[in-house]
Structure 1
Amino acid sequence: MVVRRRTRTRGKGRSSVHEKPLTNSVHVVQGERVHMPVEVRAATGVTAQFLVPAGPARDTLAAAGLAPVTPVPGRVPATLGFVHYLDGDLGEYHEFLVALMCRQPGVRGSTGVFIHWLPVDQTFTCEAGQNIWGFPKEISTIDVSTRGKRTRCEVRLEDRAVVAMEFGRGVPAPSAMGAMTLDAYTHRDGVLRRTPWTMRAGGTRMRPGGARVELGDHPISDDLRRLGFPRDALFTNHIGELTMRFADATPISSRS
């Protein structure tokens, strides 16, 4: 069965009609019904890849019941990124991402990414992310500006600078064929969850380096320092056309 839903793009006063399969999984957020899976029909984003020391990352992941992935001995791949969601079931909003590559100890084929911090600038997606998937979302100020070929994203909490990244424009790169699905792990209220996260990217541009990080004076800034994020990225990926799908989260384990 297919139900025709009216999805509002929050914050801009626009609305559009989309066809979406009716499933048994429905969540209520701020009085609105959110049908699974959640679709993102249009977004743009930038991701910067880093290698951080394994020790601090191992401590962070162990608290959630996970282990680091170390393709380079003593180093864990980590991502800082920015996404502008333009059209999706949760509305229009900006988001900043901090993620570590991880796996479930002793579980073959469980490699994924642990979402360590995920600030957003709209309340609906914040509440939905926390309650449906256990994402570590919180309301923040996210300012994005572009000058020439460089884009700057600044994140502030409680009127204090947390992190800023400046991205350089890359060169056109072949887009991946088809969709890519990976597991996103979250840990909230003592529960470890796994969420299948499917992405399809187009209009990509890549370059070595390409991003520079500045940390502020907030306690979260100190946490990013503790994780050992270097000032400069290994490489940066600009995505001009991004679609995503988030399935329901599966609880894996609980710990107090």
Structure 2
Amino acid sequence: MSGKDIFADVKQMPFATSAGPVGLPVLYRDGSMLLIGYRIDPAVAKSVLGNLPLEPLVVLGRVIVLLILFEYRDTTIGPYNEICLGVMARRPGTSPSLWSLLSDLRKVEDAALYVTNLPVTTNAALTGGIEIWGYPKYLTGITTSFRPDGIRVTLENEFVLTHSPGFGLEVPSIPFVSFTVLNKRLLRTVVEVDSRVRFGGANTVRLTITGDGPTAKTIKALSLDTIRPSFTFRTDALHSVLPSGKDIGAVAI
């Protein structure tokens, strides 16, 4: 933790959606998270970007794919569960340096995680995510169990994932930075995070596909169910602030 209250100076403003106003930024005051990172072939990563004006962000010959499992217990739009799947991407014609990516991704406007799938468990999370950011959300069942001795998450009719704790370094979390498309505009959103995360247990991840839903299809397209993750980290004291995204420019799709 930084020692500073991440929520102290935040002032929310209402944003109109079809389901009613949403206060922005959205505050996440308590939750658990498991982040799983994979390194995959650039050609495979490119296959899920389709005709978007984005390219896989290649670092040391591979592309990072993130699968992130969330149990939000206290937020300003109510408790819910969520699963994020995304590919690290860059804008064509740009070459972000490894140093800039590692030092402060907030400032690297040409790079972010392109979110391919984002299932959620409540209508409030669904509507706001689609209408404010263009996140590829859909409503479904997600059951989560974040226990000290391990994690089990089930995405209804799609997959079951388990993870056991490992012995790794504990460090401050970095911000989440995402690309999405809304009304043919590319948005880049920086989610500030004030939590400590513990690395470890990548070799204990077990991902079993149980159906053919949207996220399971992307997982299979990326072959994540057949390869070992490169790293994992977990927190059970997630604090984050989700603001509106920044308009980066028009998207021809």
TM-score range normalised by the length of the shorter chain? 0.7 to 0.9
1:222 and 1:34 mapped to 2: Cα distance? Answer: 31
Matched, 1:63 2:51: yes
Q: 230, 244, 250: which one pairs with 1:248?
A: 244
Instruction: Return the offset for 1:170.
Output: 2.1
The 2-side partners of 1:144 and 1:35 are apart by: 26
Cα drift, residue 112 of structure 1: 1.3
**C-alpha distance in structure 2 between counterparts of 1:149 and 1:210, whole Å:** 12
Question: 1:210 aligns to what?
Answer: 204
User: So what's the TM-score if we normalise by structure 2?
Assistant: 0.80
Q: Which amino acid aligns with 2:206?
A: R
Structure with higher RCO (Cα < 8 A, 6+ apart) = 2
Runs of 4+ residues deviating >4 angstroms: 18-23
Shift in alpha-carbon separation, 1:105–1:182, aligned structure 2, 3 A: farther
8 Å contact 1:136–1:188 — kept in the other structure?
Answer: no
**Does 2:217 correspond to 1:222?**
yes
Shift of 1:188: 4.6
* Aligned equivalent of 1:12: none
Contact 2:19 2:124 (C-alpha < 8 Å) held by counterparts = no
Partner of 2:100: none
Alignment partner of 1:200 is 2:188: no
Matching residue of 1:40? 28
Looking at structure 1, the residues matched to 27 and 93 of structure 2 have their Cα atoms a distance apart, in angstroms, of: 32
How far the C-alpha of 1:63 sits from its partner, in A, is 2.4
Matches within 5 A, 1:1-256: 21-22=10-11, 26-29=14-17, 32-73=20-61, 75-107=62-94, 108=96, 109=108, 110-145=110-145, 149-156=149-156, 161-171=157-167, 173-176=169-172, 180-188=174-182, 190-202=184-196, 204-220=198-214, 221-229=216-224, 230-251=226-247, 252-256=249-253
Change (3 A) 1:64 1:192: farther
Secondary structure, counterpart of 2:21 in structure 1: strand
CA distance in 1, matches of 2:29, 2:19: 23
Q: Whole-Å Cα distance in 2 between the matches of residues 22 and 144 of structure 1?
A: 31
Q: TM-score, normalised by structure 1?
A: 0.80
Mark the CA change 1:71 to 1:19 in structure 2 (over 3 Å): closer, same or farther. Answer: closer
Structure 1 position 113, deviation (Å): 0.7
Q: Distance in 1 between matches of 2:151 and 2:14?
A: 37
**Superposed displacement of residue 62, structure 1:** 4.8
Partner of 1:13: none
Does the residue aligned with 1:185 lie in a helix, a strand or coil? strand
> Counterpart of 2:66 in structure 1: which amino acid?
T
Unpaired runs of at least 5, structure 2: 1-6, 97-107
Q: Percent of aligned positions with the same letter in both sequences?
A: 19
Report how many aligned residue pairs link the two structures.
231
CA distance in 2, matches of 1:249, 1:53: 29
The answer as to whether partners of 1:135 and 1:187 remain within 8 angstroms in 2 is yes
1:57–1:91 distance in 2 versus 1, CA, 3 Å: same
Contact 1:213 1:232 in 2 (8 A): no
CA RMSD of aligned residues (A): 2.5
- Note the alpha carbon deviations across 1:166-224, whole angstroms, 9 max, x for none: 11112363222xx6334310135543221122112226352342312112331532332
